[in-house]
């Protein structure tokens, strides 16, 4: 059941009506849980028992970690040490089980191949890589949310004492497959004093659904066609073609993923919940650090709170800070997929973060350098450098097989296209020229710039009734202009 489908529209409408018809929180929780199970069943019914079982295990572990110490023991220092050891053991048991679930489904063939290459085993990878393991949708988001919940409980946040509440949160269908990564307490606490979405809240929810559908169906899916054609024929493409595909993919993945999140947030808003913002104009960042504060915000928050800070953050000197950044971003790359390309992508972003940290430290010592980065030419240069790094590294994300991605990287400069490439790709398949594709990408960049200017610089927002009027216009545009056969969301693979 895709977000962009009449089936989902009927499903969401039914859930909204049923949810607001019942009055008690207990019944509403049951509605959410049942709806979430039905939603996932339409995707992968055979993995529903696995997700429910994993949810129950994490719920029980959270309760066990939150159990207080027995202060009746006269030797309370010993009792406290035993209590802390038990909580520590349960925390790492939970983290281990969630990582085992993630590794077992997502990384077994890849890790087996790496291990076999290191040890010189030839038969093992052939046997393991032939395993056709279908990865559960949303397993990466699911596991990271569970780990965050257990760590929060260990740090002192209250654990859920009702499995119904915890499972309704954990399996909440708008965020279940592609996030955003959401914490338990902020989401479930919103059930208190909920009111039916009306007026501006209703308009905002519908607008997010329509605008998210426009981003995904009308823009991202149409960009996918030239991106796929050019990258699939990369060995025959010229440097200009590959740059066009790289830039187009940068726009595609942003529109695809942010479109999903918009629709998830719109669905949740109509049910009385506000999911966290996950994108904040990331392509207007002036540093890689700024980019990660704007791109996939909830993942960046997870990486900072549950990896970067426990590793020591920036408290142990500049060299250790840079090392921590590389480690965290390598893990972030691996989280996206079991391929070297994702790890290289993460390491390159980690290197960019380390260079930014070194530059920032140098700027603190040199007044003229700090003044330059704060001046208009410095800001423009910082923006250009950031976008070059961000867009060029998307090659490894789009082509996680290093043979493919390195081929493209080598051909990004001074390469002439094959004589038949333009005819086959642009004339026969796409029906427009490279110049027209460039104009389209330029128009998208101008539209993003105008939106950023209105919303962030001028602080202007559309009135709720204007958004409500635009909803049918957007949906009609998607219906007429979206390519036939809705493409799966890019992040469904992660």
**Is 239:286 a contact under the CB 8 Å cutoff?**
no
- The Cα–Cα gap between 329 and 306 comes to 13
| Per-residue tokens: 81 | 């040490």
Whether 349 is catalytic is no
Closest CA to 274 of 183, 342, 365: 183
Identify the DSSP state of 354: H
For 53, list phi and psi in degrees, rounded to 5: -65, -45
Q: Which residues of 116-144 are buried (b: 16+ CB within 10 A; e: fewer)?
A: beeeeeeeebeebeeeeeebbbbbbbbbb
How far is 389 from 330, CA to CA, in rounded Å? 16
Omega of the bond prior to 180 within 30 degrees of 0, cis?
yes
Select which of 296, 336, 349, 356 is catalytic: 336
Residue 38: Cβ-neighbour burial (10 angstroms; 0-12, 13-18, 19+): middle
Contact 171, 187 (CB under 8 A): no
Q: Are 223 and 483 in contact (CB under 8 A)?
A: no
Chain-centre distance for alpha carbon 82: 39
Which residues are identified as catalytic? 336
């Amino acid at each position: 059941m895709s977000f962009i489908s009449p089936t989902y529209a009927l499903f969401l409408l039914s859930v909204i009506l049923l949810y607001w018809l019942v009055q008690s929180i207990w019944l509403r929780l049951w509605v959410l849980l049942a709806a979430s199970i039905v939603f996932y069943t339409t995707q992968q019914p055979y993995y529903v028992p696995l997700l429910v079982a994993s949810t129950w295990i994490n719920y029980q572990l959270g309760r066990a970690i939150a159990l207080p110490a027995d202060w009746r023991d006269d030797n309370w220092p010993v009792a406290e040490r035993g209590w802390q050891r038990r909580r520590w053991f349960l925390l790492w048991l939970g983290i281990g089980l969630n990582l085992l679930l993630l590794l077992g489904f997502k990384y077994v063939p890849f890790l087996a191949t790496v291990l076999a290459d290191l040890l010189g085993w030839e038969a093992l990878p052939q046997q393991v890589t032939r395993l056709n393991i279908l990865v559960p949708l949303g397993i990466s988001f699911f596991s990271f949310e569970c780990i965050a919940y257990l760590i929060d409980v260990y740090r002192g946040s209250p654990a859920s004492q009702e499995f119904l509440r915890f499972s309704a949160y954990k399996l909440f269908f708008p965020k279940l497959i592609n996030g955003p990564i959401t914490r338990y307490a902020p989401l479930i606490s919103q059930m208190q004093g909920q009111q039916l979405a009306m007026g501006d809240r209703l308009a905002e929810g519908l607008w997010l659904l329509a605008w998210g559908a426009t981003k995904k169906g009308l823009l991202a899916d149409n960009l996918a066609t030239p991106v796929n054609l050019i990258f699939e024929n990369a060995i025959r493409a010229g440097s200009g073609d590959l740059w066009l595909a790289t830039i187009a993919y940068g726009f595609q993945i942003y529109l695809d993923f942010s479109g999903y999140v918009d629709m998830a947030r719109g669905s949740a808003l109509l049910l009385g919940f506000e999911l966290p913002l996950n994108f904040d104009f990331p392509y207007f960042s002036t540093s890689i650090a700024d980019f990660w504060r704007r791109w996939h915000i909830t993942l960046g928050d997870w990486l900072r709170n549950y990896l970067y800070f426990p590793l020591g953050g920036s408290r142990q000197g500049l060299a250790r800070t840079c090392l921590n950044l590389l480690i965290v971003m390598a893990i972030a790359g691996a989280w996206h997929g079991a391929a070297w390309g994702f790890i290289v992508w993460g390491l390159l972003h980690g290197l960019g973060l380390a260079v930014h940290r070194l530059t920032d430290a140098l700027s603190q010592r040199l007044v003229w350098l700090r003044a330059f980065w704060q001046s208009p030419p410095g800001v423009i240069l910082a923006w250009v450098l950031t976008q070059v790094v961000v867009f060029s590294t998307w090659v490894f994300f789009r082509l996680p097989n290093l043979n493919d991605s390195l081929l493209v990287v080598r051909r990004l400069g001074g390469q002439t296209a094959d004589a038949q490439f333009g005819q086959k790709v642009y004339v026969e398949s796409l029906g427009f020229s490279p110049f027209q594709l460039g104009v389209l990408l330029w128009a998208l960049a101008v539209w993003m710039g105008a939106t950023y200017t209105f919303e962030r610089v001028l602080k202007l927002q559309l009135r709720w009734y204007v958004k409500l009027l635009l909803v049918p216009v957007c949906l009609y545009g998607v219906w007429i202009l979206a390519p036939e056969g809705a493409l799966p969301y890019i992040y469904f693979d992660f």
